[in-house]
Amino acid sequence: MSQYRTFTAADAVEYAKQFGGVDDPSTLVSAEEIGDGNLNLVFKIYDNQGKSRVVVKQALPYVRCVGESWPLTLDRARLEAQTLVEHYKHCPQHTVQITHYDAELAVMVMEDLSSHRIWRGELVQGVYYPEASRQLGEYLAQTLFHTSDFILHPHQKKAEVARFINPEMCEITEDLFFNDPYTDHERNKYPEALEPLVASLRHDDALRIAVAGLKHRFFANAEALLHGDIHSGSIFVADGSLKAIDAEFGYFGPIGFDVGTALGNLLINYCGLPGLLAPREAADGREQRLSDVRDVWIAFAHRFLELAEAKTTDVAMAYPGYAQAFLRKVWADTIGYCGTELIRRTVGMSHVADMKLIKDEAMRTECIRNAITLGRTLILAADHIEDVEALLARIRQAV
Ligand code: ADP
Ligand code: MG
Ligand code: MG
Ligand code: MG
């Protein structure tokens, strides 16, 4: 029988004393619930010197930001812990370390990253981390290559796909990314002035067909173990360091979904900066975002190809030129999914600080309009953008 109960701060401290893996558990004395996410409880556990030592995260049996009316599987804690453990094996330098997981309580213990900051929070303030984009590309290449058919034995791959079946979390993505923004759904939220633009998305046949294709590939293409939600709020940064967290949407899906989600959040920031910063700083920030987009893709693609050349185990897939051919499809998917991320963050229900923090209403509306326009442009052009330089040219042209 399940012994699930929702943790209080005191429960979290007791749990950390038992399973926190600290040398001196008796020094752990207090906890603070710091979850700013939409779904879960996150406790920082402090010692008697006031230093935070470990983090305890617990899944709630419903969507936190909506309430008990929207129930949600506790199994997502397992999927998050196991995805991060798997990614840590392949890229320990850029993945948070999970040290303990408990299925009954839907709890995990992880390394404390208080020395880092959430990247989105930095991006909206114009704080630049010049190494972050290359590190993110490295994380994506290492985690996605090492969980793909390039290297897993076919039996192992099939067992892994089964282990990471994540239907309820996938359904959220299926609805929020690919359905809601293109229909008149009550969850959607956007400025009234943009109604004509949003309505035009619903009636754009080429767009709807392209989005259907992206959703179809999200259902069908089990290419690698995705993070599943790798936006700038799931990434911690510090000087010279980057760590991915919060992988409860992990499942085997199309590689371009992770890469596109990452790029989409950089471009949301690109679209929001004119409303967030003074003109000079905004212009600098936009150039940084474009070079971030270039660096993420180049770091990802170079490392992926290098790994494919060195480590591909499948004889057919090892044939020279195949990995390049595959990456061309990943590139087209990346641009398409990037476009859907821009639209679901502006038309759909999950809005982000890059837009929400813009104080001037007219400016905010214009920034959101630009993000929607860019998203649509990218979805429609995904199969026709040759390389990353052509992508940057398209972005400059569009907004
Ligand atoms: P959710 O799944 O509810 O979105 P997250 O895993 O994103 O939860 O965590 C919510 C917030 O808690 C993060 O934005 C961050 O501020 C904080 N947090 C999460 N993990 C850690 C960690 N390992 N160290 C420090 N703070 C963390
Ligand atoms: Mg989160
Ligand atoms: Mg549904
Ligand atoms: Mg989460």
Cα(232)–Cα(188) distance, integer angstroms: 21
Cα-to-chain-centroid distance, residue 225: 13
Ligand 3 centroid – CA 184 distance (Å):
14
Mean pLDDT across 290-306: 98
- Min mean pLDDT across 55-64, 294-303, 314-323, 328-337 is at 55-64
> Where residue 171 falls among pLDDT bands split at 50, 70, 90?
very high
> Where residue 64 falls among pLDDT bands split at 50, 70, 90?
confident
Neighbours of ion ligand 4 (CB under 5 A): 37, 39, 246, 248
- Report whether 51 contacts 63 (CB < 8 A): no
* 218 burial type by CB count under 10 A (0-12 exposed, 13-18 middle, 19+ buried): buried
Protein residue whose Cα sits closest to atom 27 of ligand 1: 113
Ligand 1 pocket test, candidate residues 32, 42, 58, 118, most atoms within 8 A of CB:
42
Q: Say whether pLDDT at 1 is over 60.
A: no
- Report whether 322 contacts 330 (CB < 8 A): no
For residue 342 the two structure tokens come to 């821009």
Residues 244-281: pLDDT tens digits? Answer: 999 999 999 999 999 999 999 999 999 999 999 999 99
Whose structure tokens read 């207090």? 30
pLDDT on residue 66: 83
Complex ipTM? 0.97
Cα(258)–Cα(353) distance, integer angstroms: 20
Percent of the chain scoring above 70 in pLDDT: 99
Alpha helix (H) residue ranges in 179-254: 195-202, 205-220
Atom from ligand 1 closest to the CA of residue 234 = 7
User: Is residue 42 lining ligand 1, measured as CB closer than 6 Å?
Assistant: yes
Q: How does DSSP assign 254-266, residue by residue?
A: -HHHHHHHHHHHH
Q: Which ligand is nearest to the CA of 41?
A: 1
> Where residue 384 falls among pLDDT bands split at 50, 70, 90?
very high
Mean pLDDT across 306-317: 97
User: Is residue 33 lining ligand 1, measured as CB closer than 6 Å?
Assistant: no
Q: Say whether pLDDT at 2 is over 60.
A: no
Residue 130 backbone dihedrals phi, psi, to 5 degrees: -65, -20
Whose structure tokens read 């600080």? 353
Q: Say whether pLDDT at 37 is over 90.
A: no
Ligand 1 pocket test, candidate residues 84, 169, 245, most atoms within 8 A of CB:
245
- DSSP strand pairing (251-253 vs 107-111): unpaired
> Where residue 242 falls among pLDDT bands split at 50, 70, 90?
very high
Ligand 4 centroid – CA 278 distance (Å):
32
The pTM score is 0.98
Instruction: Go through the domains of the chain in sequence order and give each one's CATH number.
Output: 9-111 (3.30.200.20), 117-398 (3.90.1200.10)
Atom from ligand 1 closest to the CA of residue 245 = 6
Neighbours of ion ligand 3 (CB under 5 A): 175
User: Is residue 96 lining ligand 1, measured as CB closer than 6 Å?
Assistant: yes
**Beta carbons within 10 angstroms of residue 356's beta carbon:** 10
- Report whether 143 contacts 225 (CB < 8 A): yes
Alpha helix (H) residue ranges in 39-192: 75-90, 119-124, 132-145, 154-163, 167-178
User: Is residue 238 lining ligand 1, measured as CB closer than 6 Å?
Assistant: no
Ligand 3 centroid – CA 72 distance (Å):
12
Residues 94-113: pLDDT tens digits? Answer: 999 999 999 999 999 999 99
User: Is residue 245 lining ligand 1, measured as CB closer than 6 Å?
Assistant: yes
- Report whether 373 contacts 398 (CB < 8 A): yes
Residues 117-164: pLDDT tens digits? Answer: 999 999 999 999 999 999 999 999 999 999 999 999 999 999 999 999
Residues 344-378: pLDDT tens digits? Answer: 999 999 999 999 999 999 999 999 999 999 999 99
User: Is residue 36 lining ligand 1, measured as CB closer than 6 Å?
Assistant: yes
User: Is residue 121 lining ligand 1, measured as CB closer than 6 Å?
Assistant: no
Residues 15-35: pLDDT tens digits? Answer: 999 999 999 999 999 999 998
Q: Average pLDDT over the chain, rounded to whole? A: 97
Of 375, 391, 277, 383, nearest to 329 (Cα)? 383
Mean pLDDT across 167-194: 97
User: Is residue 118 lining ligand 1, measured as CB closer than 6 Å?
Assistant: yes
